Amino acid sequence: MNRLKETKVQKINSEHNTAINVNGVHIGEGYFTVIAGPCALENVEVAVESAKAVEKAGARVFRCSLFKPRTSPYTYQGFGLEGIEILKTLRQETGLLLETEILSTEHIDSLASEVDILRVGSRNMDNYELLKGVGRTNKPIILKRNMSATLEEFLLAAEYILSVGNEKVILCERGIRTFETYTRNTLDILAVPALKELTHLPVIVDPSHSSGKSSLVPSASKAALAAGADGLIIEVHPDPIKSYSDGEQSLDIPTFENLMKDLFEMSNVLGKKSFTSVLN
């Protein structure tokens, strides 16, 4: 039984597509927007170096996670709310928008006042109180697909945000769990055009978590653009080997710069507007 009938995510017709304008940066149909930065904030030096590098390469939004949910409680969990001071430095040093993952309703007020975009990670896709809470901020929300969620379940999770009056939802395909063990997850590339058929919401792809290997991130990124994605969220670090988390899937800055050049050429062919306007 299809539970998506008469929902706010439902696509009414082929022309019904949402493009979200965040302080002049567009995310959605007709645009290609890159979000990039370290897996989680580590210190102000790495944050500023990363931010300046990804901005120069053409990214429009900085990934600056203050919290990092980890499978093991003994691994790096992020800087926490103390990292808000780093965010203020990033505002001064760059013109990038800032986005961060949020784990708890307790952090909504503190984070919503400091960042431009909030991200709900895959582990919290089914945290309905959190979804409604972030929805009430009226901030753009990146919602990541749970590793075992169907597209219908994914869209119904988005519905919780839309149901409280916030239509600025950005869907993120980040890979699903399958029998394959070579990659961290399996990038469901067909989820991109499928979601485009089902919903008017913007769709981006996380090539870092879906592959788990930095060597595969460029190919996954290009595939996402070719499949019709509206953007990417990529992990980038000045020295991935020294990264506090997910260094094995993080691009170094030269590799990211080369990837952005390739994406720039592809986006020109595909007629994407936002990405090309930055690098022209």
Please give the residue that has the higher pLDDT: either 274 or 141. Answer: 141
Name the pLDDT band for 277 (thresholds 50, 70, 90): low
| Structure confidence at residue 72 (pLDDT) | 80
Q: Does residue 249 register a pLDDT over 90?
A: yes
Domain spans of the chain, in order of start? 19-279
| Structure confidence at residue 95 (pLDDT) | 96
For 213-246, the pLDDT digits (tens) are: 999 999 999 999 999 999 999 999 999 999 888 8
| Structure confidence at residue 53 (pLDDT) | 97
Q: Does residue 160 register a pLDDT over 60?
A: yes
Q: Are 57 and 21 in contact (CB under 8 A)?
A: no
Cα four-point dihedral sign 50, 53, 58, 60: positive
| Structure confidence at residue 219 (pLDDT) | 98
Q: Does residue 147 register a pLDDT over 80?
A: yes
Q: Are 280 and 273 in contact (CB under 8 A)?
A: no
Q: Does residue 54 register a pLDDT over 90?
A: yes
The backbone region for 76, taken as left when phi is positive above 0, alpha when psi lies in -120 to 50, beta otherwise, is beta
Q: Does residue 14 register a pLDDT over 80?
A: no
Q: Does residue 15 register a pLDDT over 90?
A: no
Q: Does residue 32 register a pLDDT over 90?
A: yes
Q: Are 251 and 234 in contact (CB under 8 A)?
A: yes
Q: Does residue 41 register a pLDDT over 70?
A: yes
| Kind plus residue range of the DSSP H or E element containing 45 | helix 44-57
Cα dihedral 99/104/107/111 (nearest 10) = 10
Cα dihedral 18/20/24/29 (nearest 10) = -40
Q: List phi, psi (to 5°) of 36.
A: -150, 150
Summarize the confidence of residues 33-59 as an average pLDDT.
95
| Burial environment of residue 197 by CB neighbours within 10 A (0 to 12, 13 to 18, 19 or more) | exposed
Structure tokens at 254: 């030269």
Q: Are 140 and 168 in contact (CB under 8 A)?
A: yes
Q: Does residue 201 register a pLDDT over 70?
A: yes
| Structure confidence at residue 8 (pLDDT) | 92
The SS3 assignment for 213 reads coil
Share of the chain above pLDDT 70, in %: 97
Please give the residue that has the higher pLDDT: either 278 or 268. Answer: 268
| Structure confidence at residue 21 (pLDDT) | 95
| CATH code of the domain occupying 19-279 | 3.20.20.70
Structure tokens at 179: 């029998």
For 66-111, the pLDDT digits (tens) are: 987 777 887 777 778 888 999 999 999 999 999 999 999 999 999 9
Q: List phi, psi (to 5°) of 134.
A: -70, -30
The three-point CA angle 83-84-89 to 5° equals: 95
Name the pLDDT band for 206 (thresholds 50, 70, 90): very high
The SS3 assignment for 160 reads helix
Q: Does residue 275 register a pLDDT over 80?
A: no
Please give the residue that has the higher pLDDT: either 75 or 257. Answer: 257
Q: Are 250 and 214 in contact (CB under 8 A)?
A: yes
Name the pLDDT band for 279 (thresholds 50, 70, 90): low
d(CA 151, CA 173): 10
Q: Are 100 and 62 in contact (CB under 8 A)?
A: no
Predicted model pTM: 0.95
Nearest to 197 by CA among 62, 50, 1, 12: 12
Structure tokens at 59: 């990214």
